[in-house]
Structure 1
Amino acid sequence: MDATPGLAAYERVVQSIKDEIASGQLAPMQKLRGNRKLAEEHGVALATLQKALKVLEDEGWVTLRPAVGVFVNNEPGQARKIDVQTVIGQLDQLQATVESLAERVRRLEERSA
């Protein structure tokens, strides 16, 4: 892969894969080549490739499916929409769990004192 001045290796991989998607070389729902193959093609370490794929996922270009592969999204470039109410509900559940565990630890400490 040619070095692009000013871009980190993972950023060059991100741009290269975006270009493949935008040009139609990679179609929506198409599975990307394996991680090792992609890393080799781009001349980067596997960790660098994985960082690039995470950026592409965060930006809505691909979906990572562990143990299955990486797939081009139906509408590449459309970032995932986060449902704030769902996140708030999950945080509330997490807070309740932590409070419950803290209470259990307190009781155990009282028993052993």
Structure 2
Amino acid sequence: MSVWVALVRLFAMEQETPGLAAYQRVAETIKREIRSGALSPGDRLPSNRGVAEKYEVALGTAQKALSALEEDGWITTTPSVGTFVNSVPAEPAQKSEDLASAVAELRATVADLSARLDALEQQR
């Protein structure tokens, strides 16, 4: 691949994920490939070196990106076997449930405070 093509790809990746460290950009790109179906559960990812070459980053950057993906449940690495795509993690749904619970608690608190305010105003 020419240097020009490599620079264009790097620029495109930075435009899609501005403000992120290089390893985060690689991780986000792989997540997007999983979400889009370009990578399916059970698919084998390239080695660390292969990821570094594909995304044109340093080997350490590729390793850090894969470690972050594994920590978040997107991939599983088995030594001497390989790195494989998991199903899309259910974490976003869990976060939605947590947010819904927090909103319900806030609504209850607002209702309680409103009732207390009404009681104080009636005492005047």
Question: In which range does the TM-score fall when normalised by the shorter chain?
Answer: 0.5 to 0.7
Q: Find the structure with the greater CA-based Rg.
A: 2
Asked whether the 8 Å contact 1:39–1:46 carries over to 2, the reply is yes
Inter-partner Cα distance in structure 1 for 2:59 and 2:43: 21
Counterparts of residues 24-39 of structure 1 (less than 5 Å): 24-39=37-52
The RMSD of aligned alpha carbons is 1.4
Asked whether the 8 Å contact 1:62–1:76 carries over to 2, the reply is no
Matched, 1:76 2:100: no
Identity %: 53
Inter-partner Cα distance in structure 1 for 2:37 and 2:18: 26
- Runs of 4+ in structure 1 off by over 4 angstroms are none
The number of equivalent residue pairs is: 78
Counterparts of residues 1-113 of structure 1 (less than 5 Å): 1-2=10-11, 3=14, 4-73=17-86, 75-78=87-90
Inter-partner Cα distance in structure 2 for 1:27 and 1:56: 15
One-letter code aligned to 1:77: P
1:52-104, CA deviations, whole angstroms, 9 ceiling, x for partnerless residues? Answer: 1111011110001112211001x22246xxxxxxxxxxxxxxxxxxxxxxxxx
Which one has a larger percent helix, Structure 1 or Structure 2? 2
One-letter code aligned to 1:27: S
Secondary structure of 2:80's partner? coil
Inter-partner Cα distance in structure 2 for 1:38 and 1:64: 14
The offset of 1:51, in angstroms, is 0.6
Inter-partner Cα distance in structure 2 for 1:6 and 1:53: 19
If the length of structure 1 is used for normalisation, what is the TM-score?
0.63
